[in-house]
Amino acid sequence: MLYALLVGINHYHPDSRVPTLNGCANDLQAARQFLEAHFPKDRIVIEELRDHDATYQNVVDRWGPAFLQKAGKDDVVLFLYSGHGARERSDRAFLPYFPEGMNESLVCYDSRLPGRFDLADKELGVLVQRVAQNGPHVALWLDCCHSGSATKAVGDFRLGAVRQWDIRQEERPLDSYLEGYFSKKGVHIPESRHISLGACDRTEKAFELLTNRGNFSAHLLQVLDQYGPAISYARLFTECRNAMLRLSGEQHPQFEPSGYFNAFSGFLGWPVEGEGRPTRVFFQEGKWQVNSGAINGLPTTADQSAQFVVLRDGKEIGHART
């Protein structure tokens, strides 16, 4: 079963002064059409939150038992966010883990009203962990800016609005994260097996196209329409990046596998054919080495690594590990 939560915000709360976007609803519509065309009706459940429905609390609630936490082993979870991204100052308790002292955040419909907050990356990490612990395939599709630090202006007439809003300068209190989650559980970095498909590098901006689509979402779906869903994340990244660079060099997508997620697996769990990738084993600096690791879903820590036996003519000649 595919559980898909699609969040798109063109129009923010009028009192928040967050500028309007033009392509987010179109991104959701195009993504939904693709999903419904490739997944059987009895194997897909889609929920959408648009504009005034995409409040902070509604987004958090949909990550809970009411929807995404229903997913279990052999299921697939997709979270698509199309809207403004931003940064805000994090509570100083996070400084040992994030010395920069900033959250990267998704701007919800109401999260820039007085006393409200964005959905921070630390919170999203907890939400993903709660879902991923049940064993589904989890993918995040984030068409927004992840950083407000870039200052360059629009450098290409083919690009439109920027999906980035102001840095929030006041420090966010610890008890405001997920109803006091870190105050109760202590500050830690949630870890889970998933992949994040991001619209741009941390130092860049995510743009809309003049056709009222997200630059990232439009090109990602262009590749998916061309190849179908039976494409690995690794190839999807390469094809999407190349397509975006043909338009402009202003924005570079980022795919980030976490928790030993295999980036050579198929998009949303689809089986991949014809993309076999040989593992290269070589002898260097007096030992056997292998060019596979975390991106292939293999453990790489000193106390837990993948072991390879090197054979020649059926006889063992050495060992290699990630």
Q: How confident is the model over 22-54, as pLDDT tens digits?
A: 999 999 999 999 999 999 999 999 999 999 999
pLDDT digits (tens, 9 = 90+) for 176-202: 999 999 999 999 888 899 999 999 988
Integer Cα distance of 283 and 110 in angstroms: 57
Phi, psi torsion values for 289, nearest 5 degrees? -130, 160
Q: Please indicate whether residue 277 or residue 15 has the higher confidence score (pLDDT).
A: 15
Q: pLDDT value at position 291?
A: 61
> Over 70: is that where the pLDDT of 292 sits?
no
Secondary structure percentages of the chain, helix, strand, coil, to 5: 25, 30, 45
pTM: 0.82
* Boundaries of every domain in the chain: 2-269, 281-321
Q: Phi and psi (nearest 5°) for 246?
A: -65, -25
Q: Is it true that domain 2-269 has CATH number 3.40.50.1460?
A: yes
Does residue 153 surpass a pLDDT of 70?
no
Q: Say how many CA atoms lie within 13 Å of 282 toward its Cβ.
A: 6
